[in-house]
Amino acid sequence: MGSCLCSCLTGGPTDEDGSRSRVEGNGAARDDRHYLDCGLFVRLPTLVDNLVLETLDNVRTLVDLDQDPPRSMVVLHMIADKEDGWLTVVLSMVNVIPMADPLGPAVILLLLDDCPLPTKDLVVRLAAKLKLSSQYVEENRKRPVLLRNVCVVFGCLAEKMAGPNSLALLTDDTLAFLLDILKLDDSPTVILFSLIALEKFAQTSENKLTIKQRLAVMEPNPLLRLEAWVSHADYQYQQVGFCAQWCLDNLFEVEGRPFTYEGQDFTGLNVMLNSNDTSEYLKISPDGLQARCDATSFESVRCTFPISSGCWYYEVTIVTSGVMQIGWATKNSRFLNYEGYGIGDDDNSLAYDGCRQLLWYNAQARGHGHRCWRPGDVLGALLDTEAAHCVFSLNGDPLPPITDLFSTVSSGFFAAASFMSFQQCRFNFGRDPFRFPPTDRPFKTFNEFGTLSEEERIVLPRQIRLHKLRQMSVKEGACTLCFDNPANIALQPCGHRGFCSTCAGQLEQCPMCRTEIAAVVPEQDQQL
């Protein structure tokens, strides 16, 4: 079970080799296969346009991993099995995915991610069809949705084809196209996805060096200018500022520019998002209060401070209006980002989803009475251990209390959230005044009771953090997963050892042999 769209869309039966089956177990899909093989599509581009838009409409209803993908998506997969069909599907997404739909870019990512991996020659054909160049940017300034969709497509392809094939994809014209977009001050959404595409290309080291060299000769460096938008009043511009700042700190460093964390004011900051308790690809802002996901996986994070008793409240400002699951989780709640499991997908967590208008507990969803959230909305999350219930509010409008979470756990709750692709929000744990504080009961704030050391306040850029990890000496007898706690647990029935109780409690399969774990026992008991 799970609630991330990427898992719903890629769910379903697989072939013997593990690849995703396009037709097995689905009579309608077999009929479609026959329809395709007979060559009866007279107006294939028009049909594909309709299928892409139908898929976009349907994804909001996909909430269960056991659901079959929508028929429109099955047909799109079959069309994309052939090279000309793949081109038709990709060009259709570029042309018809609308700007206003908050799930549009994520659906492009999901469809491309589940389609067959294109060859290098096929991607070159795509670039030739689009005729990407600086001139292309100028010709389509009045069609920002087209520019945005092209950036999303090429960012996804750069990630899927990381390595030698990605080098062929980043031609001089493609790079000029992406860099020229950074000059379009009136198109923040287009700039955002150009930045994300450059980030994906930089996953290949040769591309990263090429991009850095081109940025270095641009005067002024556009990333330095865009970084200032991080404090802009408009949420689209804020996203650009966030991503430009992240790129400058993590990928495209500029000589003489200090890292952002070095200039942060942490006065009065006692609780933040825990950069050591997050899934792999979530971006945490240098102040530790914003999170953003630009990966295809479902990324999650908990805060630094657990609560055990009393009534507590925090707020989240919505920066993007897509799929995020925000709420409460214990330490036992698992982050399985590639499988689509996040907050609300087990019995140790509870979440509010304002895009699909759902509440999540134990991977089961039910509707709530709020409208879809929008950028600038404020989600309030209250947890009352004495009353044994949680209350979510949108801009001060509360839902009825929810008691589900207390049926399995009673203490050790963290503020937590999970993010689908291209989503972002900002947390307030009480350092700043709340916008819509509860008025029906007294409550505590995380920031009032939490503590952070100077080291814990710092969110290091990834390359610095990795360098520090390489320099760390692992203590003898330490856990092979966290390298911190003592390894004192053995897994049954396989018998593999070398894990601490905290890490072992978050495993379902042995990481060494992939055997399902039936029990975890102290090593001395295993020896007996």
Reply yes or no on whether the pLDDT at 256 is more than 50: yes
Reply yes or no on whether the pLDDT at 30 is more than 70: no
Q: Please, is 451 exposed, middle or buried when counting C-beta atoms within 10 Å of its C-beta (0-12, 13-18, 19+)?
A: exposed
Binning pLDDT at 50, 70 and 90, where does residue 11 land? very low
Winning range, highest mean pLDDT, from 10-19, 110-119, 128-137, 441-450? 441-450
Scan for tokens 């042309």, then name that residue: 95
Pairwise pLDDT comparison (478 vs 208), residue with the higher score: 208
Reply yes or no on whether the pLDDT at 162 is more than 90: no
Reply yes or no on whether the pLDDT at 63 is more than 80: no
Instruction: Give the E-state strand segments of 423-526 in sequence order.
Output: 423-428, 444-445, 489-492, 497-499, 519-522
Q: Write down the mean pLDDT value for the chain.
A: 87
Scan for tokens 């692709």, then name that residue: 421
Q: Is 273-461's fold the same as 472-527's? A: no
* 386, 307 Cβ separation under 8 angstroms: no
Q: Please, is 137 exposed, middle or buried when counting C-beta atoms within 10 Å of its C-beta (0-12, 13-18, 19+)?
A: buried
* 411, 360 Cβ separation under 8 angstroms: no
The number of beta carbons lying within 10 Å of the beta carbon of residue 527 is 8
> Which whole number is the average pLDDT over 18-41?
40
> Which whole number is the average pLDDT over 249-254?
96
Residue type, 189: T
Could you report the per-residue pLDDT of 320-353, keeping only the tens digit for each? 999 999 999 999 998 888 788 899 999 999 999 9
As given in the structure block, the two tokens for residue 491 are 């897994």
pLDDT value, residue 285 = 97
Binning pLDDT at 50, 70 and 90, where does residue 480 land? confident
pLDDT value, residue 474 = 56
Angle between helices 104-114 and 71-80 (to 10 degrees): 50
Binning pLDDT at 50, 70 and 90, where does residue 35 land? very low
As given in the structure block, the two tokens for residue 450 are 């939490």
- CATH fold label, 472-527: Herpes Virus-1 (3.30.40)
As given in the structure block, the two tokens for residue 78 are 């079959």
How far apart CA 121 and CA 15 sit, in angstroms, is 26
* 134, 172 Cβ separation under 8 angstroms: no
Q: Residue 123: in which H helix or E strand, if any?
A: helix 120-130
The number of beta carbons lying within 10 Å of the beta carbon of residue 296 is 23
pLDDT value, residue 506 = 78
Reply yes or no on whether the pLDDT at 60 is more than 50: yes
Which residues are 327's β-sheet partners? 351, 416
* 93, 149 Cβ separation under 8 angstroms: yes
Burial 183-193 (b: 16+ CB within 10 A, else e): ebeebbbbbbb
Reply yes or no on whether the pLDDT at 40 is more than 70: no
Binning pLDDT at 50, 70 and 90, where does residue 463 land? confident
Lowest model confidence (mean pLDDT) among 42-51, 201-210, 465-474? 465-474
Binning pLDDT at 50, 70 and 90, where does residue 509 land? confident
Any idea of the CA torsion for 492, 497, 498, 500, to the nearest 10 degrees? 30
Could you report the per-residue pLDDT of 101-114, keeping only the tens digit for each? 989 999 999 899 88
Residue type, 459: V
Cα 506 to Cα 34, 168, 358, 472: the distances in Å are: 45, 41, 26, 24
Scan for tokens 């399969």, then name that residue: 509
> Which whole number is the average pLDDT over 388-411?
96
pLDDT above 90: percentage of residues in the chain: 65
How far apart CA 229 and CA 236 sit, in angstroms, is 9
pLDDT value, residue 471 = 60
Reply yes or no on whether the pLDDT at 21 is more than 50: no
Pairwise pLDDT comparison (66 vs 104), residue with the higher score: 104
Lowest model confidence (mean pLDDT) among 43-52, 442-451, 468-477? 468-477
As given in the structure block, the two tokens for residue 237 are 């511009």
Domain range summary for the chain, segments of one domain joined by +: 1-99, 117-257, 273-461, 472-527
Reply yes or no on whether the pLDDT at 17 is more than 70: no
pTM of this structure: 0.83
Scan for tokens 């942060």, then name that residue: 264
As given in the structure block, the two tokens for residue 250 are 């993590």
Binning pLDDT at 50, 70 and 90, where does residue 31 land? very low
Reply yes or no on whether the pLDDT at 366 is more than 90: yes
φ/ψ bin of 11: left (φ > 0), alpha (ψ from -120 to 50), beta (otherwise): beta
Cα 249 from chain centroid? Answer: 19
Gyration radius of the chain's alpha carbons: 24
Q: If DSSP codes are grouped into helix, strand and coil, which group holds residue 318?
A: strand
Could you report the per-residue pLDDT of 175-199, keeping only the tens digit for each? 999 999 999 888 999 999 999 999 9
Pairwise pLDDT comparison (165 vs 411), residue with the higher score: 411
Angle between helices 71-80 and 83-96 (to 10 degrees): 130
pLDDT value, residue 70 = 81
Indicate the class that CATH gives domain 273-461: mainly beta
